[in-house]
Amino acid sequence: DKISLARRGDVICFNHPPEALILMVPTLAQRNLCCIKRVVAVGGDEVRVRGGRLMINGVPQTEPWIVGPMSYTMAPVRVPERHYFVLGDNRDNSVDSHLWGCLPHKLVIGFPLCTYWPLHRLARANAFRRAPRASHQLNLKEVWMRMRAGSAEHSRSLKKA
């Protein structure tokens, strides 16, 4: 395997969408598309959406990262082994597993390196394993100063050459 199995709460990247999504949007087959979604369920879990809430194995989930409650319902789905049920954090405006089904592990290419937008959610790479935590948030001023320092150092090295 390219990466270890993801767990609930991880944010993952996958290189191209599953065949079901390509059937929904044929132009995606012609692109080298990298998608990013949050793993909400893993192999063996039962997923459903009822009353605007995500339910995993019958338990309503607390998800502080989502934009708002879902306006759709979804009948129970059992996630096959070595598959994931992935959803975008902006649930009502995300093309994800609730539309095209479970994602096979073989399509996963890794975990994101960072979040850079929106700026108030700028985060380091390790923030994407499990749910994001405040301790992984970067100070925007600190990031800006590091970028400026790196740029100045790069300019000095070019002048020396």
Per-residue pLDDT of the chain (161 residues; tens, 9 = 90+): 556 788 999 999 887 666 766 777 777 666 667 788 999 999 999 999 999 999 999 999 999 888 888 999 999 999 999 999 999 999 998 889 998 899 999 889 888 776 665 555 555 545 555 544 333 344 444 544 555 555 455 445 445 55
Backbone angles phi, psi at 104, to 5 degrees: -70, 140
Rounded Cα gap, residues 35 and 110, in angstroms: 11
Among the listed residues 115, 132, 35, 43, the one whose alpha carbon sits nearest the alpha carbon of residue 80: 43
Put simply, whether the predicted model's pTM sits higher than 0.85 gets the answer no
